[in-house]
Amino acid sequence: QLQLQESGPGLMKPSETLSLTCTVSGGSISSGNFYWGWIRQPPGKGLEWIGSVYDRESTYYSPSLKRRVTISIDTSKNQFSLKLSSVTAADTAIYYCARHIGIGAFDYWGQGTLVTVSS
């Protein structure tokens, strides 16, 4: 059974760069035509797609976050990562990592990790 697990700091200060890692177990991150994505959910609000990575040359970002986001993949560690620069309180959210196939559904999700941005 494929499992995804997010890890990273729970508390950050404004202007810092958020770094999260998603570790994939129960399957290889480089097998199959899968995309690996990040989605976030501010407290009490809906889901927001941040971006996805297919391989080292193929990344796709939400236009509204593109200037601040970098998603990378490390097949040797079976991990993919999210960097979000210049965070503000508006970036406070639960961050999920998930798998999808092209324009397909997100079929496996991590449990999510809460990131709070506060001075």
Partner 1 sequence: SYVLTQPPSVSVAPGQTARITCGGNNIGTKSVHWYQQRPGQAPVLVVYDDSDRPSEIPERFSGSNSGNTATLTISRVEAGDEADYYCQVWDTSSDHPFGGGTKLTVL
CA 19 – CA 89 distance, rounded (Å):
16
Task: Find the shortest distance in angstroms from Cβ 13 to partner 1.
Answer: 26
Edge-to-edge strands, sheet with 3-7:
3-7, 18-25, 79-84, 69-74
Shorter beta-carbon distance to partner 1: residue 14 or 26: 26
Beta bridge mates, 21: 7, 81
| Contact with partner 1 (CB under 8 A) among 84, 110, 115, 117 | 110
CA 73 – CA 53 distance, rounded (Å):
7
| Contact with partner 1 (CB under 8 A) among 48, 69, 71, 83 | 48
Task: Find the shortest distance in angstroms from Cβ 20 to partner 1.
Answer: 15
CA 40 – CA 94 distance, rounded (Å):
5
Q: Do residues 18 and 8 make contact, with C-beta atoms less than 8 angstroms apart?
A: yes
Q: Does 90 bind partner 1 (CB under 8 A)?
A: no
Radius of gyration of the chain, Cα coordinates, nearest whole angstrom? 13
Task: Find the shortest distance in angstroms from Cβ 41 to partner 1.
Answer: 9
| Contact with partner 1 (CB under 8 A) among 28, 30, 58, 111 | 111
Shorter beta-carbon distance to partner 1: residue 81 or 113: 113
Tell me which residues touch partner 1 (CB under 8 A): 39, 46-49, 62-65, 96, 102-107, 109-112
